[in-house]
Amino acid sequence: MSATSDDCIFCTIVAGEIPADVIGRSEHAIAFKDLNPQAPFHALVVPLDHHENVAASAAADPAVIGHLVALADTVARESGNPDYRLVANTGAAVGQSVFHTHFHVLGGSSRMSESL
């Protein structure tokens, strides 16, 4: 049984209750396209279990971070982006807006984005 948060948009996507452009899945995580892409390839990898950020997920189960990185690598390569960046905003002051752990997977961009 996964922990969920009733008012969390990513829990809603994980549950299949609102649509998302899903590009990959594993036993522990899901990957889907970002609604507001900041790079030519911009996906999010999200654990099925709800925690508010990567540190909280790592504290609950360190293996989760490995699962997220593995899925990020798979979807990046499958989309033709073997070179990519992973970004995990932690805290509202640096731009975190969804408080369910996620990595941004950014490909096809030659310089650092100002917005992530």
**Which of the residues are catalytic?**
102
Report in angstroms how near the CB of residue 4 gets to ligand 5GP at its nearest: 16
Structure tokens belonging to residue 31:
């990957």
Tokens 């990519």: give the residue: 84
- The residue among 36 and 110 lying less far from ligand 5GP, judged by its C-beta, is 36
The DSSP bridge partners found for residue 32 are: 22, 44
Residue 12: φ, ψ to 5°: -65, -40
Judged by beta carbon, residue 5 or residue 89, the one nearer Zn ion is 5
At closest approach, how far in Å is the CB of 85 from ligand 5GP? Answer: 13
36 binds, among ligand 5GP, Zn ion, none (CB under 5 to 8 A by kind): ligand 5GP
Evaluate whether 55 touches 105 at the Cβ level (below 8 Å): no
Decide whether 100 or 104 has the Cβ nearer to Zn ion: 100
CA distance 43 to 45: 7
Residues that bind Zn ion (CB under 5 A): 5, 8, 10-11, 50, 100
